[in-house]
Structure 1
């Protein structure tokens, strides 16, 4: 057992800093907002300088005030989580061994998009990696990173769904594909992935249903039709026709079917 358990920073679906062995209240949501923003910025940056960090976190105050705020935040953070941040010259970084959920998402996504080839590594990510980055935070550096992660996750989910379908793991493939659809309901490539998985499984009716659902959605929301690329997926599938479960009684000489009713020759009488 490690003498010093590994701290973990959570940024997806909200900020949380967990330092094992310390009072959870001192490292959770009750941390001052400036300290939370400092930790989040270090998680999303690569060895930023003190000057760059102060400018990003306190852009609307004079430089000396920004540096003073940074020093105060570092002091408060060191009291709540000693050793979490390392200072090397003018650079700041999280200490080695700190775990960050955004880093885990990045690692999973990169392996999903460009896998080393091991089938065992094909998997739908844990639900904790599917949340938005720091919802309710509107700093420019957060907004840019949030969109980058959203796009990366979508690409990875679609890639994983395709690979799982190729391996015949259709249930897991649909789970990944629908996770992409939930993340962005109007993203056509995610719906195309759903249709492809149904086709790979031989479920033609489900493929048509998924296509029609998307077509209705984009026509209602955007006033456009699906692209030719999506339409080609289902254009050769015959539309299913409703068939009766039984013949209904009819007047003599008349047979009711799904087609137009046709008089029976045997039932005609000469005039």
Structure 2
């Protein structure tokens, strides 16, 4: 029977009969293995219990493993000195990673993702990785997955524009902007959707809104890449987009 480890929005371990109650130390162990797949006992103990002696850290790890083994379907297996998630445990982070890497990989001649690509709808609704957890190893993974999601959403928006699916393309671009409001490539994706629909006024309105935000927050102007998306318009002395 397969279990499901969810690390986005909040920690959850789902079994055949619903959510499984997991104590705090065991949650951290499962989350670490869910993100790293495998690690030696020494690495796990030192990472999860960095502020105690090595002996104490290994003792805490042994206790966590013992508690997990008491479950009818243990979620962790040991291969010598290396710990792994059990084969029957799937992880939501893996689904996001596969979908994102597929979307950001090379397209075929039609601009489509390779055949058999996993669905990307989860990219639009996914939350943060383990919000409220402040361990250093989580911070690194959180940023890695955030960047992966941003690139995937931009790529998804572009692919959907090529297919003429403008509403979904707009949703993907808007989601990207919401995650990182100062990311210019996300705003380029959004402007591209408006221009593909011939909604030039909407495109200009969004450009000017982003331009004001960029000036207020960073004292910068949009790059030539974004401004150059308006081939039939020029900027006046004040930087506004106007008709030729």
TM band (smaller chain): 0.7 to 0.9
- CA distances 1:103-148 after superposition (whole Å, capped 9, x unpaired): 1000110111115645674864226852111111111110000000
The residue aligned with 2:43 is: 52
User: Any residues of structure 2 matched to 1:68-79 within 5 Å, and which?
Assistant: 68-79=59-70
Within a 5 Å distance, the mapping from 1:5-24 to structure 2 comes to 6-21=2-17, 24=19
Q: Does 1:109 align with 2:105?
A: no
Residues 7, 19 of structure 1: 8 Å contact kept: yes
Higher CA-based Rg:
1
Match of 2:73 among 82, 91, 94: 82
- Aligned pair count reads 232
What is the CA distance between 1:170 and its match in structure 2?
1.0
The residue aligned with 1:179 is 175
Is 1:126 matched with 2:122?
Answer: yes
Equivalent position of 1:264 in the other structure: none
Unpaired segments ≥5 residues, structure 1 = 242-271
Provide the C-alpha distance between the structure 1 equivalents of 2:242 and 2:224, rounded to a whole number of angstroms.
Answer: 21
Paired position in structure 2 for 1:257: none
Aligned to 2:214: 218
TM-score (norm 2): 0.88
1:94 matches 2:85: yes
Structure 1 residue 227: Cα displacement: 1.3
Query: Structure 2: which 5+ residue stretches go unaligned?
Result: 235-240
1-structure distance, mates of 2:125, 2:196: 27
Q: Looking at secondary structure, tell me which structure has more strand per residue.
A: 2
Return the alpha-carbon distance in structure 1 between the equivalents of residues 99 and 88 of structure 2.
18
1:65 maps onto 2:56 in alignment: yes
